[in-house]
Every structure is written in structure tokens, then in C-alpha cells.
Structure 1
């Protein structure tokens, strides 16, 4: 089972996971969150940030998928770098932001 974005409903996700695991001990839950659920048996895996260059490359790749004329240039390089840094160079955040570049500027 996947519980995504648990930080928005941390207490509810913790309660749900605890109840489900008590009722079905063989169940495995993948929970995504910026904070742990704090339940027994929880294993935490921290997703590392990408390098600055890898983050910019991912943004370019995903942005050109939604807007073929998108490019990283001298004019927008600083904005691309700042955007990736503001997103903690996390792949999912970059992917979501890139999809918005269809209608928004960097």
C-alpha cells in the first residue's frame, strides 16, 4: 500500500498505518513524507537531493516535454538554478514544477 504526502495528514496516516498493520501483519506500506510516522517497525529512507547540474538537466528534459521551445540560456540560467535550489533539488518537485512551465516562466 502507498500513502503519499503523509506530512499533510500525519496523525491520520499514522493511525491508519497502525490499524492496518495490526489487522494485516504481512502488509507493507510505503509512505512518502518529509517526516516519519513514528510507528514500530518503520524504516526511513531519505531521498538525497540531486546535484545542481543533474537537477537542471532534469528540469530541461521535463520542460521540453511540455514545451518544445524551452531551453536553458544565459538569460534564464540563474532562474533555473534558483528554482531547482528552492525545490531542494528533489526529483519529484522538479518534475511537478517542469509541468507548470507550459504556462509559466521559470
Structure 2
């Protein structure tokens, strides 16, 4: 069963190097699907699937201007993922610090 919560969709989308490369390109400027697909050397359906995953995660949005359909990056989901990582990084660092102190105490007791 596919994940439906926002963070799971974001991290799943970011797990693939092609999708990360697409986001990197879109961070430079908005682009058409053809412009995005050009350097990858994969089929149009494969690019379409990658774009659907990014869109479902809220990382890109499609806009229409006359006959042109462009893609642009949405950074809000990346901010949410970054905030989650930072929150947990602080917790993990505190735990590692506590473990380090505990190991130092154990080592000093063994030396006595």
C-alpha cells in the first residue's frame, strides 16, 4: 500500500536521483516537460511518471500559459521535510551525547 501522508510522499519522491535532478533543474527556472526531459535519455512515459510522483508530493506544480505548459518547483514541502530532519537531528544528537557520556563513565569505572 502506498504511503499517503505528506512526509512519506516527499521523502519517497526525493529518494530517486532522476527526480532530485529534475528538482535541481527546476530550482534554476521554470521549464516545459520537454526541456526537463531533454538531458535524461529516458522515455516520455518514464519522465511523466517521475513528474507525477513529484506533483503528488507537492514538489512541483504545472501551469498553463496559452499553449505552453510549464513546471515550477514548490519549496514549501522541502521546508517541511527539512524541519522534520532538523527536529530529529537535535534529538539524535542529544541521545548520542548522552550515550557518549555514559560510555565515558563506564570506561572510567573499568579503569579504577
**Normalized against structure 1, the TM-score is what?**
0.28
The structure that is strand-richer by fraction is: 2
The structure that is helix-richer by fraction is: 2
